[in-house]
A and B are shown apart, each in its own frame.
Chain A
Amino acid sequence: MTTLPFYRMACNRQGGRLFQVAAWMLWCVITAAEVPQADEAGEDPMLPLPRWTEKELEAFRTSLPSSDSPGTLLPENGGSIADINHLLRTPVASGPRLDHLFHPPDGELSPRLKSEDMRLFLPESILGLPTPRPAGTVRVPTPLSALKEVSPEFLAACSRSLPKEYLIDPDLLVPEMQNHDLMRFLEFHAKDARIKLYVVVIASDRKLPDAAKLEKIASGSLLQTDACLLVYPLAEPWRARLFVSTSVHKQTSAGFLSETVQSCVHEALQTSDAHDQLHRYAIHLSTRLFWLQKALGADPATKADEGMPLAEVSTEIATAEVPNNRASIVIGSFATLLVMGIIGFTGRKFHHHLRLKRQNSVWILPEPDTIPRLGGAFTGGGGGMVSYA
């Protein structure tokens, strides 16, 4: 039918009779070519359209979904929906349901939408699903020989971080979601705590150089107030290094600090996920810092320590003290036993020597001249008597 406007337009333009006839003939030809699509009776036998056989029609009808199949959105009986609110409040009992059409495995909402796909836009903590871990990969601690020092650029980036930036992650090792969570937590900690907690995240195969100037981190804000700096190698919490302000370090026992480090490591190792480990470590450390703050009292930091470097609470202290104590106890016990054994052996030998000497010794008594008494030839009644009743 698209040709008719063209025909009328042609008539208006030309206006001639001949042209009108020619146009009429052309329109007829074109129309005749289009009509067979609508009129089945007048189709061209040279261009047959596909037709459904009876068998195909029956197969098609049988393949149609039944009343409880997908596609049948309303019940067959067509019950009237009197109250839409009632329909929304009550669960659908007789309506079409999708869940019995397939049997998805656990954790899959539908055969097409899998839990792995949900992770693309929902955090795993919300999904409550285990963290996907590539099969066959077991976390192996980085050997000490394989540790490399962080680059000067890394330290420079740490130094450029803002004073209120408590989570310093120049290499972007912590994913965005965990980064935001941890940052909010550290800000919350800094709001209430006197000892601010700064966390520097480094890669698992990195370490701090010995000559690193930590006081420059966070634009030097570590020296402005009581602070605690945690240099955390991701996925290796046992290598985390903890630094506290010198004023705090002086007032705190080494045992408490080392115990804090041990406790944080223990808390972090409760999970195998590297980011959860960091989160747990930071939370536990924050709690411990609150304890420490309470123990130290509410007095602000002494300004005399400004400019002093941070003091490290090394994990080696914590781990070395216990073996040393144990070793000293063992050595002390061994030495005591050894000394006692030597004394006992010497005493036994001395006693044996005395006994032998006494056995090989005789004592000769003097023979004084005595005058017999009471008529006794050998004794005059010398001695004594006692009643033991």
Chain B
Amino acid sequence: MQNTCSACGFSATLLHGYLGNQWVKLERITDAAHCLRLEDARKVEIILDDFERSFPQAFFAAYLGVLPKGLSVAELGFWLLNQGAFNTHSVSRRNDFGVVLVVDPAEQTASITLGYAIERCFDGGMVTRMLQTAGAHLKKGALGKAIGIVCNRCGDTLRKHARHMTWQPDVSTVEGVPSNMGLQPLRGGHKASSKPLAAPPSATKP
């Protein structure tokens, strides 16, 4: 196992000293630079939903922010995918099936970071072409469109290496457990009574 880059000396430990090694909670779209319009954000949400629906194991996340000096988008992508807890529909998604797009609008740089499980589906040229296509839209300020294009291209690439299945509803999660029905209690909520709702009439002794 190689912990340090032999060429530049980069390692996770180096980043932990700069950004920490704690887990961070992240949404699928983190707009730290406040450059994404609400309409674009909604459209991107739909695209990301479709992606996660098509690939139950994988997820796509985007981070838009101005990075401090000395930190590149590729280094931040590496750190986010290793330390981030992304708020996806299914907690079971592992980060090694994740794709993180990091955009620095100030430096006008963008990077794609791939998890271990899916990085072999992409080659270097493919990632570069996706970033160049996205860069053309980013240059025009169409961040939402750029994110959507990268996500769709990733989906197209992953389909070539994935096994097709028909979607089936997950019935195992609700069997015998009412709390898995999606009904969340308020303040502790109503506790299920052991008594039946309507007691059968019985004879009382005086």
**A pairs with B:** yes
CA distance A382 to B164 in the complex (A): 25
**Contact between chains at A378 and B115 (CB < 8 Å):** yes
B147 interface hit (Cβ, 8 Å): no
The residue on A at minimum CB distance from B4 is A374
A388 interface hit (Cβ, 8 Å): yes
B163 interface hit (Cβ, 8 Å): yes
CA distance A382 to B13 in the complex (A): 17
> Scoring A residues 363 to 389 as 1 if CB is less than 8 Å from chain B, else 0, what string do you get?
111111011111111111111111111
Give the distance to chain B from A387, nearest Cβ to Cβ, in Å: 5
CA distance A363 to B166 in the complex (A): 8
**Contact between chains at B82 and A376 (CB < 8 Å):** yes
Give the distance to chain B from A378, nearest Cβ to Cβ, in Å: 4
The CB with the most chain B CB atoms within 10 A, among A365, A380, A381, A383, is that of A383
Given A379-B95, A387-B108, the answer on whether A360 and B74 have CB atoms closer than 8 Å is no
Give the distance to chain B from A176, nearest Cβ to Cβ, in Å: 90
A359 interface hit (Cβ, 8 Å): yes
Partner pick for A377 among B4, B54, B82, B127, CB 8 A cutoff = B82
A362 interface hit (Cβ, 8 Å): yes
Give the distance to chain A from B71, nearest Cβ to Cβ, in Å: 12
Query: Count of chain B residues with Cβ under 8 Å from any Cβ of A?
Result: 63
**Contact between chains at B115 and A384 (CB < 8 Å):** no
B144 interface hit (Cβ, 8 Å): no
Which of under 10, 10 to 19, 20 to 34, or 35 or more describes the interface residues of A? Answer: 20 to 34
CA distance A154 to B44 in the complex (A): 91
CA distance A228 to B192 in the complex (A): 110
Residues of A within 8 A of B139 (CB): 388-389
The CB with the most chain A CB atoms within 10 A, among B77, B107, B161, is that of B77
Given A373-B2, A381-B74, A388-B138, the answer on whether A365 and B117 have CB atoms closer than 8 Å is yes
CA distance A53 to B161 in the complex (A): 147
**Contact between chains at A367 and B117 (CB < 8 Å):** yes
**Contact between chains at A368 and B159 (CB < 8 Å):** no
The residue on A at minimum CB distance from B80 is A379
The CB with the most chain B CB atoms within 10 A, among A358, A366, A375, A386, is that of A386
**Contact between chains at B73 and A385 (CB < 8 Å):** yes
Given A383-B112, A384-B127, the answer on whether A361 and B167 have CB atoms closer than 8 Å is yes
Partner pick for A362 among B10, B74, B166, CB 8 A cutoff = B166
Give the distance to chain A from B173, nearest Cβ to Cβ, in Å: 16
Residues of A within 8 A of B164 (CB): 361-363
CA distance A362 to B136 in the complex (A): 31
**Contact between chains at A361 and B119 (CB < 8 Å):** no
**Contact between chains at B163 and A379 (CB < 8 Å):** no
The CB with the most chain B CB atoms within 10 A, among A373, A380, A388, is that of A388
Q: Which of A310-336 contact B (CB under 8 A)?
A: none
**Contact between chains at B127 and A383 (CB < 8 Å):** yes
**Contact between chains at B55 and A362 (CB < 8 Å):** yes
**Contact between chains at A383 and B1 (CB < 8 Å):** no
> Scoring B residues 65 to 104 as 1 if CB is less than 8 Å from chain A, else 0, what string do you get?
0000000111001100110000000000011111000000
Other than A361-B54, A379-B77, give 18 A-B pairs with Cβ distance below 8 A: A359-B53, A361-B167, A362-B53, A362-B166, A363-B54, A363-B159, A365-B121, A373-B2, A374-B4, A375-B12, A377-B95, A379-B96, A383-B127, A384-B127, A384-B131, A385-B74, A385-B131, A386-B109
Offer 22 A-B interface pairs, CB within 8 angstroms, sorted by A.
A358-B50, A360-B166, A361-B165, A362-B56, A363-B54, A365-B55, A365-B57, A365-B118, A378-B95, A378-B115, A379-B78, A379-B115, A379-B116, A382-B116, A383-B114, A383-B119, A384-B112, A384-B124, A386-B109, A388-B132, A388-B139, A389-B108
B interface list, Cβ under 8 A from A: 1-5, 10-13, 50, 53-58, 72-74, 77-78, 81-82, 94-98, 107-122, 124, 127-128, 131-132, 134-136, 138-139, 158-159, 161-167
